Structure 1
Amino acid sequence: MKRIRFLGDRGDGSYSKRRQVKRACDACRSAKRKCHHDHLDQPDLTSDGSPHLERNVPKVPATTENSSEDQEGRRSINHQLQESVCLSTSSLPCSPTSIAPFSGPSSAHSLLLSAFTSTNMIPAGLETGLSRGLPRSRLLRPSFQDLKAPSSERRPGVAPGYLPFLVRAILPYLEIECLQMLPPQEDLDILMQVFKQEIHPILPIVDFSMQALSGPIDRENPATVILRQAICLAVCKNVSAGPHLKLPESETGQLSFQKPREFADKLFGALKIALDIGLVDDRLELIQVLALTTFHSYGPDGDDEIARLCGQAVHYAYSSGLHYPWRPGDHISEVRRIELLYSLFALDKIIAMVTGRPAILRENEVYLPAQGDTMLKELSPGLRLLFRLSQMLNQVLDLYRPRAPGETSGEECAWEASWPEFEDLAAQYDLQTMRASTQTCLELLYYAICALSYRPSQPPTGLNYIPGVILSPASQTSKIRHHYCAQRISFLLTLETTMLPFVPYAVSLSLTVALRNLQQTTLESTKILARGDVERNLRVLAELTETYWHAESAGTIGRQLFQNLS
């Protein structure tokens, strides 16, 4: 009978003639089956005494000295294995620079630091300024940050090797697949130029002077690719971008033309995976990418996703300290900080309008310059007017916030006495200096807000509407403006306009007003006019179907309602 020595046994005798095997774990011993579980302190040894490593992982020679040296060798092997996995999954370093996240003045961190009378008493190496780097363990899904997280930033219960080997093997291929989803260079340059002409004057989300965009594409720096993908996603719905929507096929790698929705779907999927696996680890870059991804809603649950992405962008803006004024040592200027906050504020209100969700960013929670501040003159006229319209929209949305049933018994209107005219706003903010498509886009948003400013307390839900309800003079004025704005929206959509996320919503809003007029009117002439408005809005929605999912959804519902009323 052969004598067997288990690994880990210690003794003074010679075991050169004994067969060495791995001791089974308690579960396998009780079940009387062969054990294949690995132990961190006891690597699986082959017949020659060398450690048995996983496939595609560099083999590290084992030490064959005495027992104490054998234990040190095993620790060295495990450490080198972890380093080899980390180096094989990303080109970024394994030990990131630790930066303390931003903390407000009421936090325990700030209160403790405020106890020091001078900066000389603050411990060396403690970063107290705005934080740009993200914590490596911020994601709940498997990511490169999980593989590289130091012990001080690791989530509770997460060990260095908790990710399955299959996940560690797939992550590098996901990175390659995501970074390849980009138009060819000549089309990419044109799309970037269209973005600068159409969207950037209204929403200067992107800082083209930062290193990720001022330099060439570098695959070792994923942000240089991901920011360009986000820009293409935001601009692809504009008419001038149509001939340049080319992407490589995932199966063959050959370039092919895409329709705007297909182009946006592919880029959105690549961006979503890139964000989930943590390829962007700079807060300011991440804010820009998240804000641009909110330009595309892909389907029934798309509104839920863009609302979440907008919330993440606002969250990282807060965690970067952008809601506080500029301080010496900050990474961005005060003008750039205001541009980002104005853009996020406008996107937050537009998404709240389109999706019917509560707004997230509150104006009284951030520091913004006063209206007469000379610094505001450095902003583009389109951004300043968009922020003014967003403030109007924020007040109009009060009509649609939750209330008790008894509080909405009468007709409710907004700003009956001081509703500004768009011509006055355009003259105040020098809108005539901008492109015609930009002017049309902002005017379209203005009339959408005007149409929303009238909300009947009990809108008709069927065909049993009884006319003759007497409205107050203020409500009657608001209702007339409501009808006029809906017709104005239909006219503006015949002109060239910058395509932003609220465009299909404005058409569906005009369609809603036309259907309500068709249902409630008693005069034949008014019915003919309302029927023409409905048909015109349905044609516009049909034309936008290849560009927006919202247009397809609103058009389908609108045609069904129109058939019931005809």
Structure 2
Amino acid sequence: MELTFVHQYSGDTPKPTTTTSDNNQTGAASITPQQQSPPQPAGGKHFISDLIPASTLLNRAREDERGRLLPNDDIGIWIDKLEYDELVKRRDNATGGEERSNLSKATTRLNATRSTHNHGSSCDQRPHSAVLGPLIDVYFTKIHPILPLVDEAEFRAQQAEGEVPEPLIHALCLVAAKDTKAWIHLKIQASPSTLPPREFCSRLHASVVGALRAPCQYDKVTLVRILALASMHSEGPDGAEESSMLLSQAMHHAQTMAIHLGQSNGQSHDNLAMKRLFWSLWVLDRSNSVMNGRPVIMSDADIAIEPFAPGESGFPAFEAWLRITELMNKIIAFYRPHYPTDVTGWEDQYVGLEEILDEVHGWDLPPSVHMTIHLYYLTVAVLSHRSRGIKQIPRGTNSSIRQRLCASEIIRLMESEHAGCGLHALPFIPYAVSLTLSVAYQHLRQSQFLHQQEDACQEFRKCTKILQSLRRTCSSADTMAALARKVQDEIKRAPSLASFRVTREAQRRADDKAREREVDMPCAPALSGERSGLLEALPTASAGGTNGASGARDALDEQQPAGASTEAAQPVEQPAATLGLFDGMDDVFGTYMDPNYPVNLDDLSFLDDLQPFDYAGYDGAANWTGDV
């Protein structure tokens, strides 16, 4: 019922007047709504119902017993405009608003249509509708407890209403598809059977990135989540660069919303979801810095939001992951360009994983989560020693011993029978094995005892086999696996491992050259991408006839017992091409262990014969059965 404010009339009630409509050819009278009111009684008075607000005002316009007008302030309230806006916002959030909900649904459908049209992917190239549910379940079971980028309750409610943007669903499936539990569901609408994980992920990644480029409108939080999830995928030589760019965009939009300042949205549930989102982005930022050799996007000095207290996030695995990433955040400082070069890494007491699990009350987590957290902890511990290049033989410091022990532990963990189906498919796993491969290569080159070289060679071979198996899902394992095969081929051709050793005499000569140049810094590639040659200490063929094999022969002679013949033990001189190959190998493996330098896979021109991944070498349990 429409109510209007009624005035008290004086005098006679006006009579209705008739007007003739311009379009009414019959001359019929049209009466306005005011003219349809019932006739008022004579005497200038009429009745005003209590249902009309004016009756309250008129009733208060009287004097009390002392002749004072009664106040009218208690009829309404005075509020500030900002307070009024906040009340309206709370009302809208509480009611939801049918009109706003319908508009959101229409916008979601329109964005999905535009996305499909603009990025050129036809409907039959998207994931089959029957596999979306299982893939989403895999994501919330395996990935979400460790990195809660998405609020599950909100997502499930919006999914039931059909309000979740398609790119967000595809981004979740993209991350989940790398897990072994998801492999039976990797099917698109155009394919009668499941696809290999990398092919499925490549198509899905193209769909998500194409949707982001389309002229669609997503709210900022949804956009941040899509970008962050898409950044967890890397494929091809430019994969690391694309991943870093997507994460940078996610951090940019998060900063625009001032999530890093901990600003409140008015509801505690929303605040907790935004806090989880920010610290998940922070973890991805630090991981991206290490794995892709990039500076951190957000400085700690710019962060005002408080860390989680134990149990606050609701995810003990996530809090354990955060504590380990805090260690990595401190370790990154060791690799900054202007950090003192005489610092070898974390030489103080190093926190144990058991202490971290005690702090976050994480002992009741599933074994697969414990295994994944343990692998992440070991990877960070390997980085706690700052390698100074292949030509610098490490001393027996706390950090170097920790690095060697943790690298060996990574191999044992990855070789365990539960690793294949137990580890949660996060992007750091191929990096962890590649880092361990670099440690094994470094020990192969630097160890001064033959039995240590043999141990390093065995670990190198194991890492090669693990990387070969990871190629099923991770493009980043391709190059390192091919590089490892190159090294193994040279090892097989060499008569002795001693021919690959950097001797102490070679190190002494390198130190002398460094003092002559007044340079005291780890040997690393130039910022321009040009290789500086980490093996200047290992002589190559020259006019004087000195070559790397002769230096290795001298080192081998030192190991022979007195009076023993060294003729059979002397290694065959290797060609200059082989030594040049190892110069490049040293550069790659040396810089891979330094998060300050991005590994440019385009520099690996000697890997131009890299073969595509062959799925025929895998059995049903995703185990490699071929020869490595």
TM-score, structure 1 as length reference = 0.63
- 1:195, distance to aligned residue in structure 2 (A): 1.1
- 1:370, distance to aligned residue in structure 2 (A): 5.2
Counterpart residue type for residue 177 of structure 2: C
Output the CA distance in 2 between the equivalents of 1:317 and 1:257. Answer: 36
Check 1:276–1:308 CA distance in 2 against 1; reply closer, same or farther (3 A cut).
same
- 1:224, distance to aligned residue in structure 2 (A): 3.0
Equivalent pair of 2:114/2:214 in contact (CA under 8 Å): no
Output the CA distance in 2 between the equivalents of 1:207 and 1:176. Answer: 30
Equivalent pair of 1:178/1:270 in contact (CA under 8 Å): no
Counterpart for residue 384 of structure 1: 319
Equivalent residue for 1:413, pick from 345, 362, 370: 345
Output the CA distance in 2 between the equivalents of 1:255 and 1:342. Answer: 40
Check 1:315–1:481 CA distance in 2 against 1; reply closer, same or farther (3 A cut).
same
Output the CA distance in 2 between the equivalents of 1:334 and 1:307. Answer: 27
Check 1:353–1:178 CA distance in 2 against 1; reply closer, same or farther (3 A cut).
farther
Counterpart for residue 431 of structure 2: 505
Once the two structures are superposed, residues 163-193 of structure 1 have per-residue CA deviations (whole angstroms, 9 ceiling, x without a partner) of xxxxxx9976236836664433332211111
Equivalent residue for 1:399, pick from 327, 334, 338: 334
Counterpart residue type for residue 546 of structure 1: R
Counterpart for residue 487 of structure 1: 408
Equivalent pair of 1:201/1:380 in contact (CA under 8 Å): yes
Equivalent residue for 2:81, pick from 114, 120, 142: 120
- 1:254, distance to aligned residue in structure 2 (A): 3.9
Say which SS state the counterpart of residue 261 (structure 2) adopts.
coil
Counterpart residue type for residue 412 of structure 1: T
Say which SS state the counterpart of residue 279 (structure 1) adopts.
coil
Asked if 1:246 is matched to 2:184, the reply is no
Equivalent pair of 2:116/2:211 in contact (CA under 8 Å): no
Output the CA distance in 1 between the equivalents of 2:399 and 2:141. Answer: 36
- 1:492, distance to aligned residue in structure 2 (A): 1.6
Output the CA distance in 2 between the equivalents of 1:389 and 1:171. Answer: 38
Counterpart for residue 358 of structure 2: 427
- 1:345, distance to aligned residue in structure 2 (A): 0.6
Equivalent residue for 2:228, pick from 288, 291, 295: 291
Equivalent pair of 2:334/2:343 in contact (CA under 8 Å): no
Equivalent residue for 1:199, pick from 143, 149, 152: 143
Once the two structures are superposed, residues 291-329 of structure 1 have per-residue CA deviations (whole angstroms, 9 ceiling, x without a partner) of 111111011111111111111111111112212334354
> RMSD value over aligned CA atoms?
3.1
Unaligned 5+ residue runs, structure 1?
Answer: 1-117, 130-144, 149-168
Output the CA distance in 1 between the equivalents of 2:237 and 2:337. Answer: 23
Counterpart residue type for residue 249 of structure 2: Q
Structure 2 counterparts to residues 259-338 of structure 1, below 5 A? 259-327=196-264, 329=266, 333-338=270-275
Equivalent residue for 1:227, pick from 168, 173, 190: 168
Equivalent pair of 2:379/2:406 in contact (CA under 8 Å): yes
Once the two structures are superposed, residues 378-425 of structure 1 have per-residue CA deviations (whole angstroms, 9 ceiling, x without a partner) of 431011111111111111111222228xx42x35212x2231011221
Equivalent pair of 1:521/1:527 in contact (CA under 8 Å): yes
Check 1:484–1:300 CA distance in 2 against 1; reply closer, same or farther (3 A cut).
same
Asked if 1:460 is matched to 2:390, the reply is yes
Counterpart residue type for residue 427 of structure 1: D
Check 1:455–1:284 CA distance in 2 against 1; reply closer, same or farther (3 A cut).
same
Structure ID, larger Rg: 2
Check 1:425–1:170 CA distance in 2 against 1; reply closer, same or farther (3 A cut).
closer
Counterpart residue type for residue 456 of structure 2: A
Say which SS state the counterpart of residue 438 (structure 2) adopts.
helix
Output the CA distance in 2 between the equivalents of 1:355 and 1:287. Answer: 20
Output the CA distance in 1 between the equivalents of 2:215 and 2:370. Answer: 38
Asked if 1:177 is matched to 2:121, the reply is yes
* Percent identity of equivalent pairs: 26
Output the CA distance in 1 between the equivalents of 2:207 and 2:268. Answer: 28
Equivalent pair of 1:213/1:227 in contact (CA under 8 Å): no
Check 1:241–1:124 CA distance in 2 against 1; reply closer, same or farther (3 A cut).
closer
TM-score, structure 2 as length reference = 0.57
Once the two structures are superposed, residues 523-563 of structure 1 have per-residue CA deviations (whole angstroms, 9 ceiling, x without a partner) of 22212211110110000000011110111111111222343
Counterpart for residue 442 of structure 1: 373
Counterpart residue type for residue 239 of structure 1: T
Once the two structures are superposed, residues 128-177 of structure 1 have per-residue CA deviations (whole angstroms, 9 ceiling, x without a partner) of 99xxxxxxxxxxxxxxx9xx9xxxxxxxxxxxxxxxxxxxx997623683
Output the CA distance in 2 between the equivalents of 1:172 and 1:190. Answer: 23
Unaligned 5+ residue runs, structure 2?
Answer: 1-78, 91-106, 495-628
- 1:122, distance to aligned residue in structure 2 (A): 10
Say which SS state the counterpart of residue 294 (structure 2) adopts.
coil
